[in-house]
């Protein structure tokens, strides 16, 4: 029994250590080349009118690692996600997944090739059961063919295997007791778990998570963090967007920072959060504070709040003065 309990911990350490070793000698600069990239993007541009929401010269994602994509609001992170996964089309640029060109490939074909994603706002189908939602995530279903659908023998065994796979995943995500419930009855955190579990139905190589912790209550946060780490331990590559710096420090092997549509920094979490370019992107004129320093960050937050309160008070004073003159 002792061997059973230590094996998972040893495996986790091995996977994380392997990712750390692979990235140890990678330069801490934007667009750094990785030793074994699974995803490579070049010259990707997306414009909305005169605004370039994304303008990424070059970025690579290391295979088997957890990479965080961070940046202030409006940095272009989700737009970049949408482009890579086929939910939007670029004005310029190309990218490849495992050596295969994916530029302008529609989303369903991207998923079939092994790169799946979740959304900041969950996309569970509320009027279908949890199990039905899971089965929608399975790929290559024979029963989707009109001709084969008429002959149950051609697809029944596959559906049984898919159902067993779905129950195994629901058990892993503590949703097995909800299998027959409507997805609309789940809490926000449970929908996040369902969306992540459904993404795994296609046995992907790369899982892309758009703000997996957004709207999740603290009770489920640690569970979600554990599941994200577990993806790496199963040999998958994870790319996720997140604003929570504590989460980024906890699970990311590598961090890519975007600001104003561009990649401005890359590196391990602690290195990136002390990078002047990152501090400038997040904090503007408050350059002297490291994002990795919790006490300094709290002091900065109080200072910014004080500045905002002072500006509001000044506006009220101006309004009162104008009212008095009237």
Residue-wise pLDDT for 230-278, tens only, equals 999 999 999 999 888 888 988 999 999 999 999 999 999 989 988 888 8
Average pLDDT over residues 158-183: 87
Is the entire prediction scored with pTM above 0.85?
no
CATH number of the domain that 77 lies in?
A: 3.40.50.300
Strand order, beta sheet including 51-62: 51-62, 37-48, 92-97, 100-101
| Domain-located, residue 208 | yes
Cα separation, 300 vs 206, in Å, equals 37
Asked if the structure places residue 308 within a domain, the reply is no
Diameter over CA atoms, the chain: 86
- 101 Cα distance to chain centroid: 21
The reply to whether 91 falls in a domain is yes
pLDDT confidence of residue 2 = 39
Is-contact 159 167, C-beta < 8 A? Answer: no
Q: Is residue 49 part of a domain?
A: yes
How many domains are contained in the chain?
1
> Is residue 171 a part of any domain in this protein?
no
Strand partners, 132: none
Report yes or no on 11 lying in a domain.
yes
Residue 27: domain span: 2-121+204-215+230-269
Residue 199 in any domain: the answer is no
């Amino acid at each position: 029994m002792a061997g059973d309990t230590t094996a998972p911990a040893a495996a986790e350490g091995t996977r994380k250590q392997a990712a750390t070793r692979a990235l140890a000698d990678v330069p801490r600069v934007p667009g750094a080349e990785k030793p074994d990239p699974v995803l490579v993007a070049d010259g990707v541009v997306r414009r909305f009118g005169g605004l370039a929401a994304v303008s990424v010269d070059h970025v690579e994602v290391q295979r088997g690692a957890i990479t965080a994509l961070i940046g202030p609001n409006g940095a272009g992170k989700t737009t970049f996600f949408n482009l890579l996964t086929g939910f939007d089309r670029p004005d310029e640029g190309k990218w490849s997944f495992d050596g295969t060109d994916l530029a302008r490939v529609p989303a369903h074909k991207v998923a079939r090739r092994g790169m799946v994603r979740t959304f900041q706002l969950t996309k569970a189908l509320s009027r279908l059961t949890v199990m039905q939602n899971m089965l929608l995530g399975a790929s290559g279903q024979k029963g989707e063919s009109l001709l084969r659908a008429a002959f149950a023998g051609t697809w029944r065994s596959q559906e049984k295997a898919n159902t067993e796979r779905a129950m195994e995943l629901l058990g892993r995500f503590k949703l097995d007791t909800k299998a027959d419930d409507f997805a609309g009855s789940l809490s926000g955190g449970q929908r996040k778990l369902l969306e992540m579990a459904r993404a795994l139905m296609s046995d992907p190589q790369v899982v892309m998570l758009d703000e997996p912790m957004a709207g999740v209550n603290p009770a489920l946060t640690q569970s979600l963090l554990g599941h994200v780490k577990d993806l790496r331990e199963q040999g998958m590559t994870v790319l996720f967007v997140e604003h929570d710096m504590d989460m980024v420090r906890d699970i990311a092997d590598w961090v890519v920072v975007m600001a104003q549509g561009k990649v401005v920094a890359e590196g391990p979490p602690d290195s990136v959060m002390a990078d002047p370019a990152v501090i400038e992107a997040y904090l503007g004129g408050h350059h002297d504070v490291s994002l990795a320093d919790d006490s300094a960050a709290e002091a900065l937050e109080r200072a910014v709040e004080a500045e905002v309160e002072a500006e509001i008070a000044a506006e009220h004073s101006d309004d009162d003065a104008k009212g008095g003159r009237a």
